[in-house]
């Protein structure tokens, strides 16, 4: 083979080929999964890694998964020696995970005659229940042991055979074992697809050429990020934002960031010193989440066609004080850190970047995933069920366009559960599903509108909410108004009661639950006089 360097066209071909492996893994997982959360909402992610555990390709999936997955892969590689046919499983947030419902599979790719893995493939999927105090494993807990089963890196498959004892331990600790086994099997199948496709790429391009392409891609990602930082202004910018509360103690939780860019050295520092300490509730984010959120924001500064690899973050240093809400230590509860605190980290960092790039950064989006979990006994079958969903909101307006309505933003990239699939799979009736008209902030470009989603329960159920932006509204920029805060309401025998953002309730059959998600912030002063923001909902109920 020629010793010449690969040209940009060859690198692009290899990059797209590797990307296609991650995409096909995700498609296989989606097609074969049991739960609507994976099959319909697409709450999963897939990626490909080098023999050293460096990220080299990712699917077009969930940013909060993809940025943190390399740390789970590293934890697996540090813990065990892989042989052909092995697959590791883990969900431990303190070893690269996000929160307990996100279970990661890591599988080695051995080539014929090889004695060590040439690559690794991995996927992560959100399971609708992994045990714990609340159906759906997303309740207002006070320590991680209450949130569900915590899995260190273990081999679910050994030499091509499933370890039935490991699987039995897991399935004995969840409410819906048949669905969990089906989704785990789908993840294993996706790993097999990834292994097969990586071997095909080696046959097609040659191992040496593929490795040269991988090194070129990683180094090229680093150069691209350094070039972007070189073109940003020099300076230090500060910003802060707030989470409403943690569901246990009242009062806001401060998120503070200092962003420093050095264009001469072509590097940046993101420092969260000054952020509040970890909290009793579940809004604690582990370091992997914070790193993932920073990765997402800096990736947004790159051209859309930029290849995402481990090289992107080489020029960026992330400082997150240990014991803070952005770098929690065990045994802190963390379910909400993944879904809510990650969103606020993005909001705060974008607010800092808006000072450096006022013509590029959008206003705040909804800033919450509006997590809803419902569990009980399905009266149609007599069997337990668990339902989990995130509900979209409004996107923040940008300097060039209004915000989109009814979209998942930033750290989530999931879809909704279609009404037909929801009513088929669960004992629910969808009463209303519509845009929340007028909830976006005013401005020369208006913020996007949130969503109204109202569900009637057809049986007794435990309902748990993990949502934010019920008090602190999504902010506008350049004179734009704030988006309307979210609201959650339960309707019992015609009587409406406003619910806290983080709470759990036992509700009888025929209760209705209405979620009104926040709108996005507006950008720029309105062209004609109008209200810049709407009154906040000042009704605060006790947390339960």
Q: What angle do CA 394, 398, 400 make, to 5 degrees?
A: 130
pLDDT of residue 8: 87
Q: Which structure tokens are listed for 180?
A: 């969990």
State the pLDDT confidence band at 527, using cuts at 50, 70 and 90: confident
Whose CA is closest to 104, among 87, 119, 117?
A: 87
Q: Please report where in the chains the tokens 């748990």 appear, as a residue.
A: 464
Q: Cβ contacts of residue 7 below 8 Å, gap of 6+?
A: none
Identify the weakest region by mean pLDDT among 54-68, 126-140, 214-228, 500-514.
54-68
Sheet of 267-271, strand order = 235-243, 253-262, 267-271, 316-319
Helices (H), 162-310: 164-171, 177-205, 207-230, 287-300
Tell me which of 346 and 5 has the higher pLDDT. 346
How many angstroms separate the CA atoms of 352 and 258, rounded? 7
Nearby residues of 28 by Cβ (< 8 Å), 6 or more positions away: 186, 189, 190, 193
Distance CA 71, CA 92 (A): 11
- Alpha carbon distances (Å) from 88 to 19, 122, 145: 22, 9, 22
Q: What is the pLDDT of residue 7?
A: 86
pLDDT of res. 356? 95
Q: What are phi and psi of 487, to 5 degrees?
A: -155, 140
Domain residues of the chain, as ranges? 8-221, 362-544
Mean pLDDT of 296-317: 94
Kindly calculate the radius of gyration of the chain based on its CA atoms and give it in whole angstroms. 23
pLDDT of residue 3: 47
The pTM for the full model equals: 0.93
**pLDDT above 80 (res 82):** yes
pLDDT surpassing 80 at residue 2: no
The mean-pLDDT minimum among 4-18, 197-211, 272-286 falls in: 4-18
The span from the CA of 61 to the CA of 247, in Å, is: 29
State yes or no: pLDDT of 28 exceeds 50: yes
Tens digit of each residue's pLDDT (9 = 90 or more) over 144-177: 999 999 999 999 999 999 999 999 999 999 999 9
**476-486 confidence digits (pLDDT tens):** 999 999 999 99
Please, which pLDDT band fits residue 525 given cuts at 50, 70 and 90? very high
**Which residues, other chains included, contact 81 with Cβ-Cβ below 8 Å and sequence gap of 6+?**
none
Q: How far is CA 401 from CA 302, 332, 494, 522, 524, in A?
A: 19, 40, 40, 10, 11
CA distance 373 to 389: 7
């Amino acid at each position: 083979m020629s010793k010449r360097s690969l040209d940009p066209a060859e690198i692009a071909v290899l990059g797209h080929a590797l990307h296609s492996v991650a995409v096909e893994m995700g498609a296989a997982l989606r097609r074969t999964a049991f739960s609507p959360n994976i099959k319909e909402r697409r709450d999963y992610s897939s990626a490909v890694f080098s023999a050293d555990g460096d990220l080299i390709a990712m699917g077009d999936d969930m940013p909060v998964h993809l940025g943190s997955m390399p740390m789970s892969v590293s934890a697996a590689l540090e813990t065990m020696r892989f042989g052909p046919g092995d697959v590791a499983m883990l969900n431990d947030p303190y070893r690269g995970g996000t929160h307990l419902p996100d279970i990661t599979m890591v599988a080695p790719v051995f080539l014929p005659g090889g004695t060590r893995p040439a690559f690794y493939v991995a996927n992560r999927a959100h399971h609708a229940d992994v045990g714990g105090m609340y159906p759906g494993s997303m309740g207002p807990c006070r320590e991680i042991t209450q949130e569900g089963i915590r899995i260190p890196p273990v081999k679910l498959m050994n030499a091509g055979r499933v370890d039935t004892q490991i699987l039995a331990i897991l399935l004995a600790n969840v409410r819906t074992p048949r669905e969990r086994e089906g989704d785990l099997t789908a993840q294993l199948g996706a790993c097999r697809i990834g292994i097969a496709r990586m071997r095909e790429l080696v046959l097609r391009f040659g191992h040496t050429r593929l490795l040269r392409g991988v090194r070129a891609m990683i180094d090229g990602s680093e150069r691209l990020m350094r070039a972007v930082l070189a073109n940003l202004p020099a300076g230090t910018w500060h910003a802060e934002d707030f989470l409403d509360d943690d569901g246990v103690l009242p009062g806001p939780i401060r998120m503070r960031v200092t962003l420093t860019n050095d264009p001469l050295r072509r590097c940046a520092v993101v420092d969260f010193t000054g952020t509040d300490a970890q909290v009793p509730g579940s809004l604690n984010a582990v370091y992997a989440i914070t790193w993932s959120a920073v990765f997402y924001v800096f990736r947004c500064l790159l051209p859309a066609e930029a290849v995402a690899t481990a090289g992107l973050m080489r020029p960026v240093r992330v400082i997150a004080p240990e014991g803070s809400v952005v770098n929690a230590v065990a045994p802190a509860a963390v379910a909400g850190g993944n879904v809510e605190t990650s969103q606020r980290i993005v909001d705060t960092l974008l607010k800092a970047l808006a000072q450096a790039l006022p013509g590029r950064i959008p206003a705040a989006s909804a800033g919450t995933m509006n997590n809803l979990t419902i569990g009980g006994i399905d009266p149609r079958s007599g069997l337990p069920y668990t339902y989990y969903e995130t509900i979209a909101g409004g996107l923040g307006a940008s300097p060039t366009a209004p915000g989109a309505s009814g979209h998942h933003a930033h750290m989530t990239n999931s879809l909704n559960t279609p009404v037909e699939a929801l009513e088929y799979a669960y004992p629910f009736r969808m009463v209303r599903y519509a845009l929340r008209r007028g909830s976006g902030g005013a401005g020369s470009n208006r913020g996007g509108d949130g969503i109204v989603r109202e569900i009637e329960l057809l049986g007794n159920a435990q309902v748990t909410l993990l949502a934010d932006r019920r008090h602190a509204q999504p902010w506008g920029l350049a004179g734009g108004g704030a988006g309307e805060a979210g609201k959650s309401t339960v309707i019992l025998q015609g009587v409406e009661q406003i619910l806290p953002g983080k709470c759990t309730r036992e509700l009888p059959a025929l209760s209705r639950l209405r979620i009104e998600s926040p709108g996005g912030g507006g950008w720029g002063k309105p062209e004609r006089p109008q209200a810049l923001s709407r009154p906040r909902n000042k009704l605060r109920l006790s947390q339960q």
